């Protein structure tokens, strides 16, 4: 397939012009950045928004009557409202700011553990989970005497579901929590979370979704999904590092105990007893990453401005133009990489986002990643914080290329050529 034959769903050059880092050289070569599943690059608007806070406001939120504090509070709460609209939460106070998906999942595991888990209860996860959706639940189970149950993964990288209407049969009368990734960071698999949530709700099971890899690539509607909690990071969605969100249904958040104590999350403190603040502040102890949150709000504004604009102008009206573009890159990369002798893709689900993990006979993923870097091509190598999944597929790690809206077919071709060149050197 030639690059000229592939028509992008968006104006890629218009998008690329907004990312300053794409003008950088790596080892004297133009940067080809395919590590978006680890962290995405940031458009100039996001960088300016974060910088402008420090240059023109730089005051704490909710804690002062002076002008700068008021401006900081208004800017942070505006970001909360932007995110509420983007994920279609009912209320802004259902949007809890955290430092990232890992913090969100730890909050969920600690608080739900305190609220729900008793000895012999079960928490159900899947074999493809990121460590951030495994370890916090292991810790919660250890604290409360509960058990961790695991949904296995098929050879194609999909959940091994039950035979009845393709829904899982792993639920038991002791299952209290289902916590599942919306999209696998290693395989790119899009899991049928809406169907799983519906089954869980029939049984009164609380549902938690790790949306770290979905938020920048899928249209997320938490009311349509009907999930109880939904977690994601800012830095994988064109926003700053150190920012994240835990969405929660109001009724559940009201019942959940806070997991950190300190300033902001309190109502009244005495040495005898403390009462807690209302949502969302009950879960936001201490000074937040205000500049980052403002930048995160700008990232969501930016995605909506460009993704929706391109979608409205295309035949795919109502769908994500970014996702359509990334799917085109995925299809092209899959076809071209599979033509390389000895290359095997780990994760061939029917429904995927723009992520390809692969191994090559006789080539170590670390060596391949190092040689690609010498050509200016950034990919991720290793176990991608999914060691149980690597064990499931019998590999120590993979080379992973993950795409974003600013990537091009020409860059995919550069990756393929780079892999071929590296294989000749390593075999």
Q: Which domain holds residue 235?
A: 47-300
Does residue 335 share a domain with residue 199? no
pLDDT digits 0-9 by tens, 270-279: 888 888 889 9
In this prediction, residues 128-144 reach a mean pLDDT of 98
Question: Parallel, antiparallel, or unpaired: how do β-strands 32-33 and 377-378 relate?
Answer: parallel
Which residue, of 269, 300, 331, is where some domain finishes?
300
Residue 188: pLDDT band by 50, 70, 90 thresholds?
very high
pLDDT(295) > 80:
yes
Number of domains in the chain: 2
Domain of residue 415, CATH code:
3.90.1150.10
pLDDT(379) > 70:
yes
Q: How far apart, in whole angstroms, are the C-alpha atoms of residue 291 and residue 50?
A: 5
pLDDT(5) > 80:
no
pLDDT(312) > 80:
no
- Tell me what pLDDT residue 319 has: 57
- Tell me what pLDDT residue 165 has: 54
Does residue 123 share a domain with residue 93? yes
pLDDT(128) > 80:
yes
Closest CA to 191 of 211, 171, 219, 176: 211
Does residue 273 share a domain with residue 422? no
pLDDT(315) > 90:
no
- Tell me what pLDDT residue 309 has: 59
User: Which of the pair, 63 or 39, is modelled with greater confidence?
Assistant: 39
385 is catalytic: yes
Does residue 172 share a domain with residue 239? yes
Does residue 205 share a domain with residue 351? no
- Tell me what pLDDT residue 241 has: 98
User: What is the pTM for the complete model shown?
Assistant: 0.94
Over the chain, what is the mean pLDDT? 93
In this prediction, residues 135-150 reach a mean pLDDT of 98
Residue 363: inside a domain: yes
Residue 308: pLDDT band by 50, 70, 90 thresholds?
low
Does residue 189 share a domain with residue 51? yes
pLDDT(142) > 90:
yes
pLDDT(1) > 50:
no
Does residue 277 share a domain with residue 231? yes
Rg of the Cα trace of the chain? 22
Taking CA atoms, 135 is separated from 128, 207, 386, in Å, by 13, 17, 11
Residue 2: pLDDT band by 50, 70, 90 thresholds?
very low
In this prediction, residues 394-422 reach a mean pLDDT of 98
Residue 312: inside a domain: no
Does residue 220 share a domain with residue 76? yes
Does residue 209 share a domain with residue 136? yes
- Tell me what pLDDT residue 106 has: 98
Q: How is 268-300 classified by DSSP, letter by letter?
A: EE-SS-EEEPPTTGGG--S---HHHHHHHHHHH
pLDDT(159) > 80:
yes
Q: Residues for the chain: how many in total?
A: 427
Which residue, of 300, 328, 360, is where some domain finishes?
300
Q: How far apart, in whole angstroms, are the C-alpha atoms of residue 125 and residue 109?
A: 12
Q: Which of 141, 227, 385, 405 is catalytic?
A: 385
pLDDT(318) > 60:
no
- Tell me what pLDDT residue 267 has: 77
């Amino acid at each position: 397939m030639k690059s000229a034959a592939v028509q992008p769903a968006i104006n890629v050059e218009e998008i690329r012009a907004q990312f300053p880092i794409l003008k950088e050289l790596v080892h004297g070569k133009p940067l080809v950045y395919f590590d978006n599943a680890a962290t995405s690059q940031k458009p100039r608007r996001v960088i300016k928004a974060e910088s402008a806070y420090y240059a023109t406001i730089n005051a704490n939120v909710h804690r002062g009557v002076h002008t700068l504090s008021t401006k900081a509070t208004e800017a942070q709460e505006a970001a909360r409202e932007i995110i509420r609209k983007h994920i279609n939460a009912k209320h802004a106070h259902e949007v809890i700011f955290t430092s990232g998906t890992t913090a969100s999942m730890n909050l969920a595991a600690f608080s739900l553990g305190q609220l729900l888990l008793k000895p012999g209860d079960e928490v159900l996860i899947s074999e493809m989970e990121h460590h951030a959706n495994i370890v916090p639940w292991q810790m919660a189970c250890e604290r409360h005497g509960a058990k961790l149950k695991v949904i296995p993964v098929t050879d194609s990288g999909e959940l091994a579901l039950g035979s009845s209407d393709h829904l899982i049969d792993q639920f038991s009368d002791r299952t209290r929590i289902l916590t599942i990734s919306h999209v696998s960071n290693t395989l790119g698999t899009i899991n049928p979370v809406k169907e799983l949530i519906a089954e869980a709700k029939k049984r009164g099971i609380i549902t938690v979704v790790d949306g770290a890899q979905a938020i920048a690539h899928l249209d997320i509607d938490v009311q349509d999904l009907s999930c109880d909690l939904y977690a994601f990071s800012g830095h994988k969605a064109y926003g700053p590092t150190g920012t994240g969100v835990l969405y929660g249904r109001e009724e559940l958040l009201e019942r959940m105990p806070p997991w950190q104590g300190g300033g902001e999350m309190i109502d009244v403190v005495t040495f005898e007893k403390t009462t807690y603040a209302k949502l969302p502040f009950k879960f936001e102890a201490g000074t937040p990453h205000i500049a980052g949150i403002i930048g995160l709000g700008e990232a969501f504004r930016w995605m909506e401005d460009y993704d929706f604009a391109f979608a409205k102008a295309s035949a795919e009206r109502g769908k994500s133009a970014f996702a359509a573009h990334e799917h085109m890159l995925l299809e092209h990369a899959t076809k071209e990489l599979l033509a390389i002798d000895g290359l095997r893709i780990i994760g061939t689900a029917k429904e995927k986002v723009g992520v390809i993990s692969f191994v090559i006979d006789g080539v170590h993923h670390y060596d391949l990643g190092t040689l690609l870097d010498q050509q200016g091509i950034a990919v991720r190598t290793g176990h991608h914080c999914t060691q149980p999944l690597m064990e499931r597929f019998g590999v120590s790690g993979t080379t992973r290329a993950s795409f974003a809206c600013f990537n091009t077919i020409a860059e995919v071709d550069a990756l393929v050529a780079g892999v071929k060149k590296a294989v000749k050197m390593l075999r």
